[in-house]
Amino acid sequence: MNSGTLDGQVVVVTGGGSGMGAAFARRLASDGARLVINDVNEVAAGEVASDVGGEAAIFDVTDSLAFNAAIDRIAAHYGRLDVLINNAGIAPTGDANKREISMANQIKRIEGRYDELTPTDSTVDLSDEEWDRMIKIHLYGTFYGTRAALRHMTPQRRGSIVNISSIMGLRPSAGIPHYCAAKAAIIAFTKSTAQEVAAFGVRINAVCPGFVDTPMLDSMDDLALAGIRMQTPIGRLASAEELSQVVRFLAGPESSYCVGDVFPASGGWV
């Protein structure tokens, strides 16, 4: 049964073909929203779109012209644009060797053998391409989407933008400086843009999930996942559906006083 609070609202979810984006789409559709599912994966976006009775919009969020064109077309087609969820993202590429060094270092720290710690060289080994791609997809993608959406939301004096950051933007971990920097920058971007447009009826907020059980974590081996569970006070990963409740709150009128606010859902990490 629909609560009806999002009836007819037009919602765009980037990276909506998988994981959290797909869960957000399903959650908002269940409250009556009309969904546009963006992704670079055409098949995945098509499946989610067909599940929620919405449409797919296939483009790369790092392509600003494509982002502008898609948002302009959606706003013209539906006559409105109510919610944008900037969610598309990639995981840092894992390196089993560096993970092993980190694990061994943890044991050496516990045993007080600080002289024997081995450098992981994670930052030294990070290539220009890896850095650029990470910042481009997360930070530039969020900027391109927000800019395109505000061109419609500010004049209509209504809208909600939800940016998916990470606990790594609030409490960074060693080994993934590009991911942490991108996610932290999204928080500052969220606050600045939110202050600019709040008086015009547009709210912009950020969510900082802890570790969520999605395909993004597929590259992690069992030991790495066990390490995450061990460090997470609640003792487990989140489900994408749990995060979708936070996003649902921020998308709708229930969060009317939330402006530039940052919502961790971290299982106790932050």
Which chain residues interact with ligand NAD by CB under 6 A?
A: 14-15, 17-21, 38-41, 44, 60-62, 87-90, 137, 164, 166, 209, 211-212, 214-217
Nearest to ligand NAD of 64, 112 (CB atom): 64
CA distance 201 to 210: 29
Nearest to ligand NAD of 12, 20 (CB atom): 20
**Nearest to residue 38, comparing CAs of 91, 92, 85, 90?**
85
In contact, 139 and 189? CB cutoff 8 Å = yes
E strand or H helix at 77: helix 64-78
Q: Measuring CA to CA, how many Å separate 71 from each of 25, 103, 150, 214, 269?
A: 17, 45, 10, 27, 35
Measured from the CB of residue 145, what is the shortest distance to ligand NAD in angstroms?
Answer: 10
Measured from the CB of residue 59, what is the shortest distance to ligand NAD in angstroms?
Answer: 7
- Whether 179 sits among the annotated catalytic residues: the reply is yes
Nearest to ligand NAD of 188, 200 (CB atom): 188
Nearest to ligand NAD of 47, 154 (CB atom): 47
**Nearest to residue 237, comparing CAs of 251, 262, 216, 207?**
216
Measured from the CB of residue 221, what is the shortest distance to ligand NAD in angstroms?
Answer: 15
Instruction: Name the active-site residue from 78, 114, 179, 257.
Output: 179
CA distance 60 to 215: 19
Measured from the CB of residue 199, what is the shortest distance to ligand NAD in angstroms?
Answer: 28
CA distance 17 to 23: 9
| CA–centroid distance for 147 within its chain | 17
**Nearest to residue 35, comparing CAs of 27, 207, 138, 60?**
27
Measured from the CB of residue 178, what is the shortest distance to ligand NAD in angstroms?
Answer: 12
Q: How large is the angle between the packed helices 141-156 and 64-78, nearest 10 degrees? A: 30
**Nearest to residue 161, comparing CAs of 81, 77, 68?**
81
Catalogue the active-site residues. Answer: 179
